[in-house]
């Protein structure tokens, strides 16, 4: 057992359900899940849906569906319940109201009546004078008279947390010791003027009540940590929290042009990976490499292997680059690792409408079973299966102009005629014999195999690239193969 955790581990994954999950969020879920499993701890799944306008029920359902698809499980949370239910913040509003009141009663939070215009003006003045530009503590200790004046003016206050005037130091599990001086962490809002509690309050309050021991989350939340630590201390004094959790901030994920991958970037959308036919295990394997690696730098591994090896102290604080090519390569390896039956089953969605261009009745199960092993070794993502096997189920091969232009050269008609002749008398139970036939045709026309097979491939499959040709011809069958060569010859003659 590692030194990080001796007491029972309780971690949480607590996204706001705003639409389609992005890969950064999945990486955070994965590291929390792996950490919990590695330490035989508890993963709490909490929905941070206090922002009612943004968080629709549909987003919530999408989020759950995505997490299930990825194969995550959680010990407490939606659908499974637990001792700290409910796990949706929208159902916990009374708790936050109560805690906000207790903080105010204890003098740890106060009403701030400053208007946005006033705050802006004072911030600009402070900046101009080269002073810290955060909230200046204006309302910290208002007199009863001043409060009456503000109320008479019709101002509605927000609630602000009173930061202690002290330096805050903590040891980040990924970044080591970090220090924030008091002037850089001003008093901050915890409840809006309309009474709505903010993330700054509800997130640490729930972490405290749910007895979270380790907070693993993205680096973008690092600046909120000193504020939250101060809030925990107040909650401990009030008997609401037992302990301050340890924090580990996971590195940024960078996209194209070395810019932070944002949830608005299309390539960060989980749905996109799902629709393209990434395997959950391939995608998770790749995402685990964004800040972490298995010893020996082995790139392809199972989630069980990751869980067994995962130490938060091994996470690299430097930004990680999202590399789609590598993600695809790792996914391809996972596709190859499936047993064939599993592979054929996982391809099923792409063999039907709306992906498949053939009529359902033209699909041929025996041909599919025969071709599947050849496809399995060549796909990067499952959605590629459709184009790779459509020649078997379409009445005529697709018309790919670029392929046709590339393969059909001067003399291709002569080559195709010879190839047809040789194929006619070949042994159609042996791909080797079909290869010999095309090889022999090539020799007659002074062409190596690669050049000789290109027009045959385009005539039969419509494309210059695809599955191993002679196995494909065998599976398609003699009659159809020869008819397609005839059709190509007719087209060349026209
Ligand atoms: N709901 C917050 C988010 O999605 C959680 C942040 C945290 O882990 O503290 O950004
Ligand atoms: Zn104020």
User: Given this model, what pLDDT does residue 1 score?
Assistant: 41
Domain span at residue 447? 401-493
Number of domains in the chain: 2
Give the residue from 192, 227, 250 where a domain finishes.
250
60-68: long-range contacts (C-beta < 8 A, 24 or more apart)? Answer: 60/17, 60/88, 62/17, 62/19, 62/20, 62/21, 63/15, 63/17, 63/21, 66/20, 66/21, 66/26, 66/270, 66/271, 66/274, 67/21, 67/29
User: Would you say the CB of residue 217 lies under 6 angstroms from ligand 1?
Assistant: yes
Q: Which of 102, 263, 478, 480 is catalytic?
A: 263
Q: How far apart are CA 371 and CA 169, in angstroms?
A: 61
Residue 139 alpha carbon to ligand 2 centre in Å:
4
Q: Does residue 454 lie in a domain region? A: yes
Give the residue from 250, 271, 297 where a domain finishes.
250
Residue 212 alpha carbon to ligand 1 centre in Å:
14
- Residue by residue, pLDDT tens for the chain (494 residues) are 445 556 899 999 999 987 788 999 999 999 999 999 999 999 999 999 998 666 678 888 999 999 999 999 999 999 999 999 999 999 999 999 999 999 999 999 999 999 999 999 999 999 999 998 899 999 999 999 999 999 999 999 999 999 999 999 999 999 999 999 999 999 999 999 999 999 999 999 999 999 999 999 999 999 999 999 999 999 999 999 999 999 999 999 999 888 998 888 888 999 999 999 999 999 999 999 999 999 888 999 999 999 999 999 999 999 999 999 999 999 999 999 999 999 999 999 999 999 999 999 999 999 999 999 999 999 999 999 999 999 999 999 999 999 999 999 999 999 999 999 999 999 999 999 999 999 999 999 999 999 999 999 999 999 999 999 999 999 999 999 999 999 999 999 99
Place of tokens 């639409």: 19
The CATH number given to whatever domain includes residue 457 is 1.10.10.350
By the 10 Å C-beta count (0-12 exposed, 13-18 middle, 19+ buried), 221 is classed as middle
Instruction: Check: CB of residue 86 under 8 Å from CB of residue 48.
Output: no
User: Given this model, what pLDDT does residue 4 score?
Assistant: 59
Residues 476-492: b if buried by 16+ CB within 10 A, e if exposed = beeebbbebbeebbeeb
Q: Which residue lies with its CA nearest to atom 10 of ligand 1?
A: 15
Instruction: Check: CB of residue 200 under 8 Å from CB of residue 230.
Output: no
Q: Does residue 236 lie in a domain region? A: yes
Which numbered atom of ligand 1 lies nearest the CA of 207?
9
Alpha helices for 79-115 (secondary structure H)? 93-105
Alpha helices for 182-314 (secondary structure H)? 199-209, 225-237, 270-276, 280-288, 303-309
What is residue 398's three-state secondary structure?
coil
Which ligand ends up closest to the CA of 142?
2
User: Would you say the CB of residue 228 lies under 6 angstroms from ligand 1?
Assistant: no
Q: Which of 13, 14, 43 to mutate to test the pocket of ligand 1 (most atoms within 8 A of CB)?
A: 14
∠ at Cα 27 (202, 288), nearest 5°? 145
User: Given this model, what pLDDT does residue 54 score?
Assistant: 61
Task: Note if the pTM is more than 0.75.
Answer: yes
Q: How far apart are CA 367 and CA 482, in angstroms?
A: 18
Which numbered atom of ligand 1 lies nearest the CA of 218?
8
Q: Which of 24, 203, 224 to mutate to test the pocket of ligand 1 (most atoms within 8 A of CB)?
A: 203
For residue 77, which of 45, 42, 29 has the smallest C-alpha distance? Answer: 45
Instruction: Check: CB of residue 251 under 8 Å from CB of residue 291.
Output: yes
Residue 460 alpha carbon to ligand 2 centre in Å:
76
What is residue 45's three-state secondary structure?
strand
Examine the residue annotation and report whether 263 is marked as an active-site residue of this protein. Answer: yes
CA 351 to chain centre: 25
Q: Does residue 60 lie in a domain region? A: no
Backbone angles phi, psi at 397, to 5 degrees: -65, 155
Alpha helices for 12-158 (secondary structure H)? 23-38, 57-70, 93-105, 116-128, 144-152
Q: Does residue 234 lie in a domain region? A: yes
DSSP string, 340-367: HHHHHHHHGGGGSTTT--S-GGG--HHH
Q: Which residue lies with its CA nearest to atom 4 of ligand 1?
A: 15
The CATH number given to whatever domain includes residue 187 is 3.40.50.620
Q: Does residue 267 lie in a domain region? A: no
Instruction: Check: CB of residue 27 under 8 Å from CB of residue 291.
Output: yes
Q: Does residue 437 lie in a domain region? A: yes
Residues 30-60: b if buried by 16+ CB within 10 A, e if exposed = bbbbbbbbbbebbbbbbbbbbeeeebeeebb
User: Would you say the CB of residue 224 lies under 6 angstroms from ligand 1?
Assistant: no
Place of tokens 């790792």: 330
Which ligand ends up closest to the CA of 147?
2
Q: How far apart are CA 169 and CA 148, in angstroms?
A: 39
User: Would you say the CB of residue 221 lies under 6 angstroms from ligand 1?
Assistant: yes
Give the residue from 202, 230, 250 where a domain finishes.
250
Q: Does residue 268 lie in a domain region? A: no
For residue 478, which of 415, 414, 440, 429 has the smallest C-alpha distance? Answer: 429
Tokens of 144: 């009863």
User: Given this model, what pLDDT does residue 266 score?
Assistant: 84
Residue 121 alpha carbon to ligand 2 centre in Å:
13
Place of tokens 């494909």: 472
Q: Does residue 158 lie in a domain region? A: yes
In the structure, ligand 2 is a single-atom ion and the residues with CB under 5 Å from it are 112, 114, 138-139
User: Would you say the CB of residue 248 lies under 6 angstroms from ligand 1?
Assistant: no
User: Would you say the CB of residue 14 lies under 6 angstroms from ligand 1?
Assistant: yes
User: Given this model, what pLDDT does residue 256 score?
Assistant: 84
Backbone angles phi, psi at 344, to 5 degrees: -65, -35
CA-to-CA dists, residue 427 to 175, 369, 455, 457, angstroms: 66, 21, 21, 18
């Amino acid at each position: 057992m590692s030194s990080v955790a001796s007491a029972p581990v309780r971690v949480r994954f607590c996204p706001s359900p705003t639409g389609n999950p992005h890969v950064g969020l999945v990486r955070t879920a994965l590291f929390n899940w792996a950490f919990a499993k590695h330490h035989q701890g508890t993963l709490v799944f909490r929905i941070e849906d206090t922002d009612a306008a943004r968080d629709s029920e549909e987003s919530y359902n999408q989020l759950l569906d995505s997490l299930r698809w990825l194969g995550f499980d959680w010990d407490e949370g939606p659908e499974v319940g637990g001792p700290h239910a409910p796990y949706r913040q929208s159902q916990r509003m009374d708790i936050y109201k109560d805690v906000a009141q207790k903080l105010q009663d204890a003098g740890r939070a106060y009403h701030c009546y400053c208007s946005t215009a006033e705050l802006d003006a004072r911030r600009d003045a402070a900046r101009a004078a080269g002073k810290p530009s955060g909230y200046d503590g204006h309302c910290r200790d208002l007199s009863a008279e001043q409060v009456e004046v503000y109320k008479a003016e019709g101002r509605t206050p927000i609630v602000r947390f009173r930061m202690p005037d002290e330096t805050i130091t903590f040891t980040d599990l990924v970044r080591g010791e970090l220090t924030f001086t008091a002037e850089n962490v001003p008093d901050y809002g915890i409840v809006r003027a309309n009474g709505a509690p903010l993330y700054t309050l509800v997130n640490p309050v729930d972490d405290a009540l749910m007895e979270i021991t380790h907070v693993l989350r993205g680096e973008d939340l690092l600046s909120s940590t000193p504020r939250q630590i101060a809030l925990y201390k107040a909650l401990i004094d009030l008997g609401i929290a037992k302990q301050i959790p340890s924090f580990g901030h996971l590195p940024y994920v960078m996209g194209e042009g070395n810019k932070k991958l944002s949830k608005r970037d299309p390539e960060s959308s989980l749905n996109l990976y799902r629709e393209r036919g990434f395997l959950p295990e391939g995608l998770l394997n790749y995402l685990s490499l964004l800040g972490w690696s298995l010893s020996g730098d082995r790139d392809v591994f199972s989630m069980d292997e990751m869980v067994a090896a995962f130490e938060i102290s091994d996470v690299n604080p430097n930004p990680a680059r999202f590399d789609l090519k590598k993600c695809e390569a790792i996914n391809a390896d996972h596709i190859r690792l499936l047993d064939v039956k599993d592979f054929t089953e996982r391809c099923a969605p792409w063999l039907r409408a709306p992906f498949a261009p053939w009529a359902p009745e033209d699909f041929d199960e025996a041909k599919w079973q025969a071709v599947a092993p050849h496809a399995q070794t060549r796909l990067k993502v499952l959605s590629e299966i459709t184009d790779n096997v459509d020649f078997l189920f379409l009445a005529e091969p697709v018309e790919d102009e670029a392929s046709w232009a590339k393969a059909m050269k001067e003399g291709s008609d002569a080559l195709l005629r010879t190839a047809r002749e040789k194929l006619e008398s070949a042994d159609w139970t042996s791909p080797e014999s079909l290869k010999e036939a095309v090889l022999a045709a090539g020799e007659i026309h002074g062409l190596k195999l690669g050049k000789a097979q290109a027009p045959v491939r385009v005539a039969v499959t419509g494309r210059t690239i695809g599955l191993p040709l002679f196995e494909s011809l065998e599976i398609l069958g003699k009659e159809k193969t020869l008819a397609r060569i005839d059709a190509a010859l007719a087209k060349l003659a026209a």
